[in-house]
Structure 1
Amino acid sequence: MKIGVPKETANREYRVGMTHLGVKQAVSAGNEVYVSRGAGIPSGITDAMYEEAGAVLVEDVRKVYEFADLIVKVKPPIDIELAWLQRKQVIFSYVLPERNKELCYAFIQKEITAFGYESVEDQEGRRPLLIPMSEIAGKMAVMMGSRFFHTIHGGKGLMLGCMPGISPVEVAILGAGAAAEGAAFIAAGIGCNVTILNRSMHRLRGMEQRLGRKATYLILTEENLVKVLKTTDMIINTIDQMGEKDTHLIPRDMLKEMKEGTIIFDVACDTNGTIETSRPTTHDDPIYVVDGIIHCAIPNLPGIVPRTATMVLTEATLPYIMKLAEHGYKKAVLNHSSLRKGMCFYEGWLLHKKAAENFGLGYKPFESCFYPCK
């Protein structure tokens, strides 16, 4: 199979879809791998390292799309990349179709088959390609968010953590998944008072077993949330309601319950969902203020720590890349349920129910694509 690894074009996205070690394994299995020149440099992978692994370096990123049957990348294809896609190509990356109408239309028009990292599940119901980046994003939220307390950024002049003689900073975390745990690990580790809120007692107990008494664990109710918001200095949201506009956990009128200068860091980047006033920001323009509350919602936090993030991500994705390359995507999804759950487009058919509902598009269940006689 011809595998393409293009250079990412999204804002401040420095990760790359495959390392040189992954390329070497793919080439050894009889595949051809085309890599954009310079794609791996921010991740510490030189062009020479890719060449030594057997990759063919390509000067023009558009040619990677032209040459490849399977495109392996990190972020969902953006406008310019959608134009480069070839008809009936296979995409393996984060896709998030429920958030991107233009992507859905382009994939349907070009009869794309796509597997979303975010939807691949193992036999235990875990999402092995989402968890590592979520953990990094949670940790990054605390580290990056601490800057917005600084006076030079318009913050309230606090130092994240604690110092003898003064009360520690209060950090509230919504959710109890990998991103929440990553955030709690960093925040508690530097001495913040951490409160974790989630609707699942089972999830909270699991967090307590791993983090111990370094945090307070509360069931997520409106009463508990309002009580916490009144005293917190930073809120880190990791709950993704996929833009459910009628069920905001934090509607705009709840901002008045918070102290001025409080930071809301929406790791989930759930536009108009969990937090009514949340909208995507960028590394170049990371924050905005609503009713005295600082907001940040950068969708690719791991993208600025590529030496860490690329290695962690590609270690998780490589086994699935090899399955797709060895068997072809049709046999791979029939033989591996984890990939089946990650398939969100099949030759232009939309297999993602939430995306279909969001954009009024036709939905086709997986079974009707592969078992039409049943």
Structure 2
Amino acid sequence: MTRRKSVRLQEIAERANVSIGTVDRVLHNRGRVSYETKAKIIGLVEELGYIHKNTRPCIKTVGVLCPRPEECHYWELPLRGIDKTAELLQSTGLTLKKVYFDAFCAEDYFQRGLELLNEHVDAVILTPLYRQESYKLVREMRKSGILYGFMDANFPELEPDYFVGQDAKNCGALVGGLIKYIMQPSEQVWVVNLSPGKRTSTNLQREIGAVDTLGHFFSHEQCIHVLDFPYAHLDRAAIFKKIEEQTKHLSKPRVVYVTNSRIKLIHEYFAEIGMAKGVIFIGHDPLPENISLLLDDKIDFLIAQDSVQQGSDILEGIWGILQKKVLLTKEKHHYSMVYTKDNIHGFLRNK
């Protein structure tokens, strides 16, 4: 019997291209083994029919509460990372339940969140776009003992079990440092917040980082203009009217920095009024429409983090907590990258 077990472990190790010791650590759930390797070994264990009491996964459900990707293609990226990691972890007992909400409606965010909590989930990954509604959802999760992690945006006071996202203030500071090499003291920069309802914490932190950095080199009153254009629906004409009303007293800017992925809409406004020429446009996220603008020399810089990896990391972190693993930190920040027409091809090759 002992000899048979040894042979089977050897076969699993060879098929997985790992040592017998690694297989043994997975079977006894001890030591550090990557999620991908663990999933591969457990898959082989099941395929070869090797029976071990510790390989029988305990089924747990992780819920995902995310804006509808068809409303903003950005969300396709972290969801792709979540799906990829969920596939790797499926044999370890993970099931995934995704619920989408209307990013323009706080009440829909809250109601879809309650719907997800009623699915008997063990943990939830959510994008907390709305502060008060997030408070209420967190209260319900704490009552039920449900773990929760935040993705992309963070409210630290809600004490998520795990957070993965950009260091937004540092990202804004990076943009501010870039702008200081472009502008002259007599010129203007517009820092534009264009988002549904109130600004998200991510947008606000990016704004703070950029403005604080620029304030060391330029006059706040004369050069730096922060403009908020909240909207309930993505109505192009209504947004353009709002921009016109708020900027009619301002001179043409040298730089326009949009703190989220909506750079296309702002560029369209400038093009429509004949003011796009000579303006440096800086936006976020390599979405298809933004990449097209970059390649066509209509915008100049895109700031991004690895959003696909962000999705992978948040699911790995929450799953690790569910598996009683000790995480070295409760936060993981993704560093910002600056893309131009010249280096965006590297992103496209690795997409």
Between structure 1 and structure 2, the one with the greater Rg is 2
* TM-score, scaled relative to structure 1: 0.38
* TM-score, scaled relative to structure 2: 0.40
